[in-house]
Amino acid sequence: MIEVEHLSKTYGSTPAITDVTFSVEPGEILGFLGPNGAGKTTTMRILAGYLPASSGTAKIAGFDVHENSLAVRQRIGYLPETPPLYPDMTVEGFLHFVARIKGVSAGDRNSKVDAAIQRCNLEDRRKVIIRKLSKGYRQRVGIAQAIVHDPPAIILDEPTVGLDPRQIIDVRNLIKSLAGTHTIILSTHILPEVSMTCSRVAIINRGKVVATNTPELLMTQLTGGSGYELEIEGEAALAKQVLQKVPGVSLVESIPGHHLPKDNRAYLRVISQGGREPGKDIATTLISCGFGLHEMRRVSASLEDVFLQLTTEEKNLATLDESAQDEGAA
């Protein structure tokens, strides 16, 4: 439904995205995950037809976003980072207006607006002026305007930013309820958003897609599904340096919330490379370098570990990409 191939965008001489390739199957929710400045908004805007790419192609339902932008706009709903709302209109009035400009016929407008209002739980606010709505409700109106013409594809750019925890849950549930009947691409820098909402994830870093897969398979592939938590005696920074050199170790990080400088203890998480079991070498290296080892246990790696690893290391991670795997299997 959404096919992006070798997409690049340069602002002046600054590359924002480089050779971005991914696809989203019908009914799927793809999480487009990356840190600030990774290139998420740039990609979303190109897909929505608001920004021309410097090179490469993007197609939605078979239509090129650049060459057939009108056909594409009829088939997508787009929620930018800041929802495009008219604050002096009522919710209902605004959705009628959007339905009209999106080409919904006069005869269909009432039923489409009602359906969007119902889907986004806006029944009790339909007559309210938008400027009087809370941020959470405005976001729902933003999603309602994206789906009012019932497009097959929906593009959501950071849909839960600035919402309180309750509103975040509501908006995530709403997005999940749209899957199956819609194809969704959702950009976010928030990890739990991806594991809770998305069936697949593309991780983007510094303008490049560094991995694409289901959240579960990404974790397994990258880490072999395992890591180790350590309680050691000695200086954390030094221990990290030493452990990073152990063969089979991919990432060493401090465990947040554990900081007891008084007794000279450090709490570290070590993530192994896929299929490697460096536990024995970790223990012997620590002991031979004079660290005390008070505890060492195996833990499953989290998506957070994967994300950190992919976005903090300068590695060639192309082998983690599904397409690269397919090629390998062929």
Ligand X SMILES: Nc1ncnc2c1ncn2[C@@H]1O[C@H](COP(=O)(O)OP(=O)(O)OP(=O)(O)O)[C@@H](O)[C@H]1O
| DSSP conformational letter for 322 | H
Where b means 16+ CB within 10 Å and e means fewer, 88-116 reads ebbbbbbbbbbbeebebeeeebeebbeeb
Distance in Å, CB of 47 to ligand X, minimum: 12
Closest to 61 measured CA to CA, from 143, 144, 151: 151
* 189 makes contact with ligand X (CB under 6 A): yes
Decide if 37 contacts 50 (C-beta within 8 A).
no
Minimum CB distance to ligand X smaller for 92 or for 193: 193
Distance in Å, CB of 16 to ligand X, minimum: 3
| Side-chain half-sphere exposure of 284, counting CA atoms within 13 A | 6
Which of the residues 246 through 285 are near ligand X (CB under 6 A)? none
Minimum CB distance to ligand X smaller for 311 or for 319: 311
* 37 makes contact with ligand X (CB under 6 A): yes
Q: Which two tokens stand for residue 89?
A: 């209109």
DSSP characters over 255-313: PTT---GGGTEEEEEEEEPTT--THHHHHHHHHHTT-EEEEEEEEE--HHHHHHHHHH-
Distance in Å, CB of 203 to ligand X, minimum: 12
Binder to ligand X among 41, 54, 57, 254 (CB under 6 A)?
41
Termini Cα distance of the chain? 24
Return all residues near 37 (Cβ < 8 A) that are at least 6 apart. Answer: none
* 38 makes contact with ligand X (CB under 6 A): yes
Distance in Å, CB of 162 to ligand X, minimum: 13
Using the structure block, give the residue that is written with the tokens 């959501």: 156
Distance in Å, CB of 37 to ligand X, minimum: 4
Binder to ligand X among 13, 14, 105, 316 (CB under 6 A)?
14
The full length of the chain comes to 330
Minimum CB distance to ligand X smaller for 112 or for 189: 189
Distance in Å, CB of 314 to ligand X, minimum: 17
By CB under 6 A, how many residues form the interface with ligand X?
12
Binder to ligand X among 2, 4, 7, 16 (CB under 6 A)?
16
* 194 makes contact with ligand X (CB under 6 A): no
* 11 makes contact with ligand X (CB under 6 A): yes
Minimum CB distance to ligand X smaller for 79 or for 95: 79
Binder to ligand X among 42, 212, 220, 223 (CB under 6 A)?
42
* 34 makes contact with ligand X (CB under 6 A): yes
Binder to ligand X among 8, 31, 39, 200 (CB under 6 A)?
39
Distance in Å, CB of 24 to ligand X, minimum: 18
Minimum CB distance to ligand X smaller for 39 or for 227: 39
Return all residues near 330 (Cβ < 8 A) that are at least 6 apart. Answer: none
What are residue 12's phi and psi, to 5 degrees? 60, -115
> Distance between CA 255 and CA 244 in Å, rounded?
15
Q: Under the rule (CB under 6 A), what is the footprint of ligand X?
A: 11, 14, 16, 34, 36-42, 189
